[in-house]
Amino acid sequence: MEIFDILESNERLSQFHGEALYDLDLFTLGKYAQKSRLKRYGNKTFFNSNRHINPTNICADVCKFCAFSANRKNPNPYIMTHEEILHAVKEATKNGAKEIHIVSAHHPDAGVSWYMDIFKKIKQAFPSLHVKAMTAAEVDYLARRYDYSYDEILDMMEKNGVDSMPGGGAEIFDEGVRSRICKGKVSSKGWLKIHQKWHERGHKSNATMLFGHVESRAHRIDHMIRLRELQDKTGGFNAFIPLVYQRENNYLKVERFMGSQEILKTMAISRLMLDNIPHIKAYWATSTINLALIAQEFGADDLDGTIQKESIQSAAGAQSAGGLKLKDFTDLITTSGFIPVERDSLYNEIKQY
């Protein structure tokens, strides 16, 4: 079948056709992605009031793309006490945060209870806050380090108050690329298995894809198809988040920042490939806020949130360290021609601005 026949009839796109989408010009591709986005959400752009907290940067793994973990290029190891974390959460709630997004490095000696007590203490002090925490990479690391099964770690997360899982650690599923950029970290199969188990317990999660480094277009399409297959089984992914690779202070030598057209094409293609994942998040911390707003015209419908503090991407050069003020955020969405809709972590609408 011709690519346009498939797009017109909303049929599923194969690996072959997914790759072929990149050969369309940006505006033709965008038109089809936007049709899907407008049919689902009209002119709404979703965001949430959230705060990211990264309790430690001391990591047993060496992912070549990472500038956040403490290493020779970032000789600044830290581990927050639970009191410091609770203080940060308190400040965040004063500033309106309804979700705390917690991602830690893979600390070799902190112990499982250091991780789990963070969630327990936050839930005790702030029962209505949504705790989004523990990437599948952290689950896998703790399971291997302390000899637990994935189910045992997931049991502990449930018991201690984790509400949903973030999409981190997926990177690129292709095993060849994975061994080049993050050897030793959770395997693709492990990542998908952990999310499958989490979904089967009735919980939601997100899925990321790190792109713009050494992967090919074919690898990105393969990544999307593996997620689509799991989503067919579980329906547990809320959002797909293509993360634009940031190049500074790390060990992966990539000469150039990816071009805006390729970024927008990838956003549009993810809307078209992932017909069963409700939301496409243009994470402004990695794409810049301006491109994330333009991505709203190319299939994306979400921007993540106000963030308040961002440490992972800003360590690698992104201009996201201080987050964005709510008023600036909603004004930017409005002046871009979209309706700012504050949502909760599970995409229930809270307020239109």
Residue nearest to ligand V47 (CB): 168
Measured between alpha carbons, how far is 59 from 68 in angstroms, rounded to an integer?
9
| For ligand V47, the closer CB: 188 or 286 | 286
Measured between alpha carbons, how far is 320 from 323 in angstroms, rounded to an integer?
6
Closest CB 239 distance from ligand V47, rounded Å: 6
Interface residue list for ligand V47 (CB under 6 A): 65-67, 103, 166-169, 171, 206, 208, 210, 241, 243, 245-246, 250, 283, 286, 304, 312-313, 316
Closest CB 212 distance from ligand V47, rounded Å: 8
For residue 67, the SS3 value is: coil
Q: Which alpha helices (DSSP H) does the chain contain, by range?
A: 3-9, 15-21, 26-41, 82-94, 112-125, 136-146, 150-160, 175-182, 188-200, 217-234, 260-273, 284-287, 289-295, 312-315, 326-335
Closest CB 20 distance from ligand V47, rounded Å: 27
**340, 228, 307, 125 alpha-carbon torsion, rounded to 10°:** 110
Closest CB 340 distance from ligand V47, rounded Å: 18
| For ligand V47, the closer CB: 74 or 336 | 74
Measured between alpha carbons, how far is 84 from 54 in angstroms, rounded to an integer?
11
| For ligand V47, the closer CB: 7 or 316 | 316
- Render the burial of 291-313: b for 16+ CB within 10 Å, e for the rest: bbbbbbbbbbbbbbbbbbbbbbb
| For ligand V47, the closer CB: 163 or 171 | 171
Closest CB 99 distance from ligand V47, rounded Å: 9
| For ligand V47, the closer CB: 250 or 270 | 250
Measured between alpha carbons, how far is 17 from 1 in angstroms, rounded to an integer?
9
| For ligand V47, the closer CB: 17 or 203 | 203
Closest CB 313 distance from ligand V47, rounded Å: 5
